[in-house]
Amino acid sequence: MAAVINGAQPYVPSPRYTLNLLQTYVREIEREGGFVEGDEFNMLLFRTLQLVKGTTEADPLLLQYLSFSLGVGVHPLAVRVGPFHNDVGLRMWEAGYLLAEFLIKNPSVVANKRVVELGAGVGLTGIAVQGLCGGCKSITLTDYTDVTIANMNHNVSLNANWIQENCPGAPLPEVAHLDWEEIGCSKSIAGCSSLSSGDLLLAADVVYDVSVIPHLVKVVKLFLLSAAGKLAIFATTFRNEKTFTLFITCLEKEGVQYQEMKDFQYDALFDTFWKQKRDEVRLHTFSIGSSETARCTQHATKVVQK
């Protein structure tokens, strides 16, 4: 029983999920005129309430696992999250789920590509895509804080067998440090080389802080200019339309073209218990004209090598 309610173990439901399940169970039994009692049930309810009470105190160091049975493999996909951690990279965001669901439904978008993800957070998107045979040539998941990078490495290791069982031979996602604010400065960074050698840039829910938009724009421009024919796909939760408008206005000034993807196909695979909304998430592609690419490639290469 402890294993079932202990949210700090992989592959078990969170305390809040368990509590909701128990409440639904009691409600359904009572609706039929029954009554739930018994020491074992009471103990489970009491222990779950204690755990949930702990989580409502918002312990920033609390780590939990979210697991998803995606219809393949013996084990579910599991990722460790810190639901109350100050670092937003330790949580899952609906745009990350949607981006994974879109890529899994449309594997030709990533097939045989060297993929780089910005602000990959817990790493679920890349792990899911590789484990469901997206067929990326390589996939590099980048982020910038030590705690996010360490957690993402943990999640990749945790799912290494799941990926190999479901999709033998698929390269495991690599994790690299890439701080948008360091782009173009003299410090050499690991994520920078994957940026210049990548074919496809992905990002989910990274356009939310006005102060980092100039840096993010620089990263996207640098990526698109490093060779012809590159594409970026962003999944964005529209909390404040003005923030995204600022982002695309800055990109347009840099010669980047954008397009919103309408009516795209995806299956809601990550059916989270609390039903995060997908309808506030929009997908956009970013690219650059070939003449602009040729003019700037030399310059961009120099910046990356700095």
What character string, x for contact with ligand SAM (CB under 6 A) and - otherwise, covers 189-218? ---------------xxx-----x------
What is the distance between the alpha carbons of residues 21 and 6, in angstroms, rounded to a whole number? 15
CB atoms within 10 A of CB 255: 16
What character string, x for contact with ligand SAM (CB under 6 A) and - otherwise, covers 164-193? --------------xxxx------------
Closest distance between ligand SAM and the C-beta of residue 186, in Å? 17
| 143 touching ligand SAM, by CB under 6 A | yes
Closest distance between ligand SAM and the C-beta of residue 44, in Å? 31
Cβ contact 269:243 at 8 Å: no
Q: Give the residue carrying structure tokens 């705690």.
A: 147
Closest CA to 128 of 97, 150, 151: 97
- Name the helix (H) or strand (E) containing 152: helix 146-158
Beta partners for 283? 235, 261
Residue 44 vs 115, nearer CB to ligand SAM = 115
CB atoms within 10 A of CB 98: 28
| 89 touching ligand SAM, by CB under 6 A | yes
| 144 touching ligand SAM, by CB under 6 A | yes
What character string, x for contact with ligand SAM (CB under 6 A) and - otherwise, covers 15-54? ----------------------------------------
Cβ contact 226:304 at 8 Å: yes
| 102 touching ligand SAM, by CB under 6 A | no
Tokens standing for residue 277: 């909304």
| 92 touching ligand SAM, by CB under 6 A | yes
| 121 touching ligand SAM, by CB under 6 A | yes
Among 119, 131, 173, 198, interactor with ligand SAM by CB under 6 A: 119
Q: Edge-to-edge strand order for the sheet containing 114-118?
A: 174-177, 138-143, 114-118, 200-204, 231-237, 281-288, 256-261
Residues of this chain that bind ligand SAM (CB under 6 A)? 88-89, 92-93, 95-96, 119-121, 143-145, 148, 178-181, 204-206, 212
